[in-house]
Amino acid sequence: MESLIDTFHIDIKLLIAQTINFAIVISVLYFFALKPLIQVMKDRTMKIEKSLEDAKKIEEKLSKTDQEYNKAIGKAKKEANIIMEKANAAAEEKKQDLIKKAKDEIGQIINKEKEQMQIEKARTLKEIKKETADLVVVSLEKILQEKMDNKKDSEIIKKMVKKLS
């Protein structure tokens, strides 16, 4: 072994000192660099795993929320359709009522106009009869060439009106 030490010029004291120095450097690096680095990497791994789990939970909640939203939209559409159907039915009923009222009002107006026409017709006939009677009197006076008195006049008018009626 001494020949080996002489051949390679190895100094045992120096080798022991370097081994001790190496052990000290390894220990310092382990406790001050590697151990905190491993801890940071563990923390980071845990944060990433937690973030992935949270993302998964959020995605599930989002999916549930989306399903609830779609259900709510579907329900709202159904309710809106029901409301629209009711509104259309009410509008149709109101339309029919208005048409009926309008027809009733038109019927009343027509009946009033018929009554007025009957009154007007009766008044016109009365005037025509009066004018006819006056014409008859004038014609008779010319034919008879004398003036008739009220008594004769009334008798002739009554006879003529009866004939015309």
CA atoms of 138 and 147, how far apart (whole Å): 9
Provide φ and ψ at 148, rounded to 5°.
-95, 150
CA atoms of 64 and 58, how far apart (whole Å): 10
Residues with Cβ within 8 Å of residue 153, at least 6 apart in sequence = 137
Q: Which two tokens stand for residue 16?
A: 């022991």
Q: In a structure prediction context, what are the per-residue pLDDT tens digits for the chain, which is 165 residues long?
A: 677 667 777 778 888 999 999 999 999 999 999 999 999 999 999 999 999 999 999 999 999 999 999 999 999 999 999 999 999 999 999 999 999 999 999 999 999 999 999 999 999 998 988 888 778 777 777 776 555 667 776 777 777 777 776
CA atoms of 133 and 139, how far apart (whole Å): 10
Alpha helices in the chain (DSSP H): 2-8, 12-29, 35-144, 150-164
User: Residue with structure tokens 């795993």?
Assistant: 49
- Cβ-contact 126, 165 below 8 angstroms: no
Sorted by where each begins, the domain ranges of the chain are: 2-164
